[in-house]
């Protein structure tokens, strides 16, 4: 018992060994650097999900931004607006990071001049195919983040929409939102 009291007393008394002061100081420094790094990471994730970031490459180079701004995802009666990231960046951490890592390839090609007005339409077809495959593989999760099928009032939908919005039928046909709704926010390119 006395040994335990001595240990705790020694813990709070100043040490004659100066190097021991570096242990808590190093710990505080590591926590501070970690907080700054995490804050910087969050700021960069938020900034790269902003429409302005997306527009920085797409405005003037193609019609993607203009098509989006004329779509129902940008302007509608309810005032609900989907940003570029709402459709193109997953909400879950690991899929989001994978998407961000893959996008660096596009930024690299853009900076190297491999993407330009002359070849953009051909590249756009490829990008549309890749985006369709990714969204289909994720079962159109980005669509479902806003359009929850469980909340649909199918009685208020047209007969055609009602027939196509049966989740049981989707499972049988291996279909998802993007199979029918490709080209909602951007013009549908001529897929090869």
Please indicate, yes or no, if residue 53 is contained in any of the structural domains: yes
Q: Is residue 21 part of a domain?
A: no
Residue 29 lies in a domain: no
pTM value > 0.75? no
pLDDT at 14: 67
Q: Is residue 43 part of a domain?
A: no
Q: Which domain holds residue 168?
A: 49-181
Residue range 9-21: mean pLDDT, rounded: 67
Residue 92 covered by a domain: yes
Examine residue 24 and state whether it is found in any structural domain, yes or no. no
Q: Which of 84-98, 106-120, 138-152 has the highest mean pLDDT?
A: 84-98
Is 166 inside any structural domain? yes
Domain count, the chain: 1
What integer best gives the mean pLDDT of the chain? 84
Q: Is residue 117 part of a domain?
A: yes
C-alpha distances out from residue 160 to 71, 104, 150, Å = 21, 40, 18
**Residue 19: per-residue pLDDT:** 64
Q: What's the CATH code of the domain at 105?
A: 1.10.3820
Express each pLDDT in 141-166 by its tens digit.
999 998 888 888 888 888 888 778 87
């Amino acid at each position: 018992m006395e040994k335990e009291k001595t240990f705790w007393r020694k813990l709070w008394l100043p040490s004659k060994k100066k190097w021991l002061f570096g242990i808590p100081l190093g710990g505080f420094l590591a926590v501070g650097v970690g907080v700054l790094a995490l804050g910087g990471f969050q700021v960069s994730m938020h900034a790269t999900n902003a429409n302005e970031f997306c527009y920085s490459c797409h405005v003037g180079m193609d019609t993607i931004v203009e098509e989006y701004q004329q779509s129902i995802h940008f302007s509608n009666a309810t005032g609900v607006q989907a940003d570029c990231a709402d459709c193109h960046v997953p909400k879950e951490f690991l899929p989001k990071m994978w998407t961000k890592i893959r996008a660096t390839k596009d930024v690299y090609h853009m900076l190297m001049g491999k993407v330009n007005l002359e070849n953009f339409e051909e590249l756009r077809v490829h990008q549309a195919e890749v985006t369709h495959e990714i969204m289909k593989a994720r079962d159109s999760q980005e669509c479902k983040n806003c359009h929850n099928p469980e909340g649909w009032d199918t009685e208020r939908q047209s007969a055609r929409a009602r027939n196509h919005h049966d989740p049981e039928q989707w499972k049988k046909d291996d279909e998802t939102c993007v199979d029918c709704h490709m080209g909602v926010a951007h013009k549908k390119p001529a897929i090869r």
